[in-house]
Structure 1
Amino acid sequence: MALPLRELYLDALELFTAEALAAADSIGLPSACDGWTIADVVLHVVATQRSNVIAPLERTADPVGPTSERADLPAVRAIGAWERTAREAMTIVDACADDEVALLYFPTMDLVMHAWDVRWGIARIGLASPLDLPDPLLAFAEGLPSRVHDEHVRNDVVFAPALTAPAGASRTAVVMAWAGREV
């Protein structure tokens, strides 16, 4: 049975947090996102969670907006920024009204994809094995191709063109190849 979106979001938040913390000593390594370090990915996720979860559900102005946080924060402080953001997001999502849960779809997708991107950065040099998503998040990710339209996600901002996963690739790798990641 599929988890409700609020629970999926909180699971994705936990997964991304675990991956960011595991990569904390390797924050300058390249990620799976072309041209981005792990720090860049972490700071991007800080920005997307602040603008898509914290600000809309908190209903107050975001005092440290996503653009200023990413542009002004040194890479070595990315993990601290993420930890603060994750705590705020968890508190807000735990308390959000049921009619606001639909707002969590994109942020959940962003957390899942970028958790994989962070792990890729340390797995490619042998510091970890490739990330296989936990079953509920894998089911969510496998459903993305039927829920999003290519013309809305195939661009410089969301997903690169779909790639073909190698024969025998894991289910997670197949989803990531669909999302334009080299697996």
Structure 2
Amino acid sequence: MALPLRELYLDALELCTAEALAASDSLGLPSACEGWTIADVVLHLVATQRGNVIAPIAEGAAPVGPSSDRADLPAVRAIGAWERTAREAMAVVDACDDEQLPLLYFPTMDLTMHAWDIRWGIARIGLADRLELPEPLLAFAEGLPSRIDGAAVRTPSIFAPAHPVPPGASRTAAIMAWAGRRV
């Protein structure tokens, strides 16, 4: 059974927070996002969650949409900025009206994919196993190809070109390869 979008978002927020905290001593390592460190991903999440969740829901501002921008903070402050952002986003989403829930679609996707990207950075050097997405978030991610215009999302600010899926790849690895990640 699919979880409602609010619950999916909160699960993705929790997963991403756990991954960011687990990688807090490794912020300078490369992430699965080409050219981005783990800190870059965390700072990007600060910017996107503030611009696509907190501002539109709490303040009624227009969402900023997909962005490759990263918060203008030094990497050493990334985790603190993320923890504040995650707490604020959780409170805003917990209190939001049902009419505002469609605003959570892109941020849920962003959190889910970037949780994997963060873990990839520490897994590639043996500090952790590769992340297998929890079933509700995996099902949400696997539904992306049928719900979005594939050509429209193949841009530097959303998804790189798809990578081939290695033989025997997990479901998580397959959707991440579709999303342009090296698995």
Q: Distance in 2 between matches of 1:67 and 1:27?
A: 18
Counterpart contact for 2:40–2:70, Cα < 8 Å: no
- Report the counterpart of residue 97 of structure 2 in structure 1: 97
8 Å Cα contact 1:159-1:180 kept in structure 2: yes
Give the C-alpha shift of residue 32 in structure 1: 0.4
* Identity score, percent: 75
Query: How far has the Cα of 1:67 moved from its partner?
Result: 9.7
Aligned to 2:49: 49
**Is contact 2:44-2:68 (8 Å) kept?**
no
Q: CA deviation at 1:69?
A: 7.1
Q: Which has the higher helix share?
A: 1
Q: Can you list the C-alpha shifts for 1:123-181, whole angstroms capped at 9, x where unaligned?
A: 00000000000000000000000011112210111000111110000000000000000
Mark the CA change 1:69 to 1:148 in structure 2 (over 3 Å): closer, same or farther: closer
Structure 1 runs of 4+ off > 6 angstroms? Answer: 66-69
Q: 1:69 to 1:145 in 2, by over 3 A?
A: closer
Instruction: Tell me how far 1:114 sits from its aligned partner.
Output: 0.3
Counterpart residue number, 2:137: 137
CA deviations 1:59-91 (Å, max 9, x no partner) are: 167xxxx999722x1101100000000000000
- 1:153 equivalent in structure 2: 153
TM-aligned CA deviation for residue 113 of structure 1: 0.3
Matching residue's letter, 2:71: R
Q: State the match for 1:107 in structure 2.
A: 107
Segments of 5+ residues of structure 1 without an aligned counterpart are: none
Structure 2: segments with no counterpart, 5+ residues = 62-66
Q: Hey, what's the Cα distance between the residues in 1 that align with 2:50 and 2:28?
A: 23
Q: SS in structure 2 opposite 1:109?
A: helix
2:8, 2:136 within 8 Å by CA — same for their partners in 1? yes
Matches within 5 A, 1:76-95: 76-95=76-95
Please tell me the residue identity of whatever aligns with 2:80. G
Q: 1:2·1:136 contact (CA, 8 Å) conserved in 2? A: yes
Give the AA of the match of 1:162.
A
